[in-house]
Structure 1
Amino acid sequence: MRVERQVLGHQRRRESGRPFWSTRPFGFERDGTHREEEAEALRQAYRDVLAGVSLWSIAKDWNARELLSPHGKEWRSSNLRGVLLKPRNAGIQTYSQWVEKPDGRRVRETEETGTGNWEPIVSEGMFRALARYLSDPERNTGGGGKRKALLSGVVRCSKCQAVVTQGWSRKDAAGERYRIYTCSGGRCITCPADPLDAYVVRQVISRAEEWNQAPATDAADEEREAELLAEEVATSERRTALAEMFAVGDIDASTMRAGIGRCDADLGKIRTELADLAAKRVRVDLGDVEYLWEELDYEDPDRIDYVRTVVMQVCERVELLPRGRGVRGFKSDHCRITFRNP
């Protein structure tokens, strides 16, 4: 009887949409209201991750600000990732239970059960976009191998279209060497690295006003998002109805599985499009880029990665042009930049 009462209690809580958290989650109070400093940190983290900032950098920043977990522990990439992937941040209610697998293992499975009655910290679209990004199998999460050259792999040779990589010049009369970018295809072109870095970043910063004034989405996007959210609710309800019909014997198992399979496929398409719409809203703060550029430290690969991400987002193509015979320095006409539309 006690177990039945517990099951019934859980069911009623799910139906009511009330928050039921055994411990206070990061960003929230136990009653579902926001703990504003933490909630704002979460909002910024979603924007930063989608803009290319590493989880390690965000964890390091939170620890420096003494913005610790509800248990008083410091952040690492792993536990930060777990918090960002919590559906509750988008106002989505979940239900977890232990399930025994055919091989005898017991695993804890969590499913989304609907919309909670607490105020979300981020939109569902933003949450889906981040979940999709963090689960991308092609995303490189390794700590090693980060480029220490800002434009290595970004700039292309105008002659052979190969990417440029960092190298070092021969010693000059003073016995010193300096960084250069060299075409990886056949050393078609070389260029001093520092002035090229400075020129490209300054051109990106000069686009700040245009990018900041550009609307993140238009009316058509907003209408489409509303349509998709309505479709998602309807499809989720249809999926639940199929399970209920099977439970009371109105349909057989094969019909239920086929119907749920179609619903899951539809939900996947809907959530992918919602994620794409949310990703369009992400705007990189070019003011941060200017600060990072002024304080750029080539021993801090995360800063370099962030500035490189912004360059790649703002620039569609950056090409290095021949400097001409006997020309040793760098001039602006040695680089051709094609900007993306904001």
Structure 2
Amino acid sequence: MTVVEDEAEAIRKGAAMILQGETLAAVARHWTGLGLLAPRSSSGKAKSGAEGWGVGGVKKVLISPRYIAQATYLGEVVGEGQWPAILDEASHYALVSALTNPKRFTGGARTGSAPQTLLAGLAACSKCGETVRGGMYRGTPVYRCGQKHVRVPRELADKRAGNAVLARLAFPDFLPSVLAARQEQGDDSAHLHQEAQTLRERLDGLAVAYASGAITLSQMTAGTEAIRARLDGIDEKLSGIPGLPPIDPVRGIAHLIQDWPNTPLPVRRAWVKFVTTITMHPNGFRKAAKMTVDDYMTVEWNHVADDEE
């Protein structure tokens, strides 16, 4: 429950190293050099340099939701932790996205203690208020609360939640309205997202201008490179501050919608949490064949103006 500041600073430094393009091995050497104990080195060998951190251990730490103050049980997020966060959520999601990228993966466990399901720790039971976790019921993957009031088929629930997020993202007013509200609240990320949106529109404008013959190929190329460089800079800034869940700075919301099934699980979880409030209902004695998705769960949109309700 208590943060050890030296170790917390080492985790923050390791996160920054990865986000700056350094390797897990480099972080492992850094932590070992600090004399920090790896989980397998409880005997103290790490202090003598005989045995230290490996890349698998570093990865498990850096993608663990415990360090953004989320409690886990058997690899599932089950609620908010009762301790201070070491990393902000934007950095955490950026780390998980980078470290679970199949192009980077070289072996070992992919997820460590990171969440394995879309809605664990996010959806709540309407009867007891507990957040749900993943489980099995008669061979079927389900979500259920600790009191077993609810047993919702996981495939059905994930599809319903994902569709609700995508439907909201598809509204043209969604991102501008959220950014405007966050700017009023002083959210530092809002103006960066707004600038990224403007730059994406300029990229589209360059392509149209070139297609119409208004500019040359070299002019379009030079303009595109300058805009993409600025977008990369915005992406780096957004990775270090809280705000909206991650959005590709170049391709934007449209790409998120198109590539939703391939989006890293932690990023999809962040959008589910940001866009929706999900409540799951007790099954009673009804047979599953007679139940609809609305019998199982209620999904409400967040960030909806009064005139949209």
TM-score by length of 2: 0.41
TM-score by length of 1: 0.37
